[in-house]
Structure 1
Amino acid sequence: MGVGRIVQIIGVVLDVEFEPNEIPPIYNALKISADTPR
């Protein structure tokens, strides 16, 4: 499973950045965890 970073949120669309060799297959679900509460 690749680890990425959310770089932008527009409405319900997330722009997630992955390392070149960490890109997950298309149509896979994303699990999001946060270290700090918002």
Structure 2
Amino acid sequence: MFRGPGRSTVVTSKTASDHRTAKNFVCQMRRAVAASAG
């Protein structure tokens, strides 16, 4: 969906936390879209 800077290069120990953050980000985006859609 979205690509952060250096996300493809830094995939080692931060993978788990990154996935978590991405999940939360997507959830927030969906919530915002739903709220704006009515």
Same fold (TM over 0.5): no
The structure with higher relative contact order (CA 8 Å, sep 6+) is 1
Greater percentage in helix: 2
Superposition TM-score tier, normalisation by shorter sequence: under 0.3
| Larger of the two Rg values belongs to structure | 2
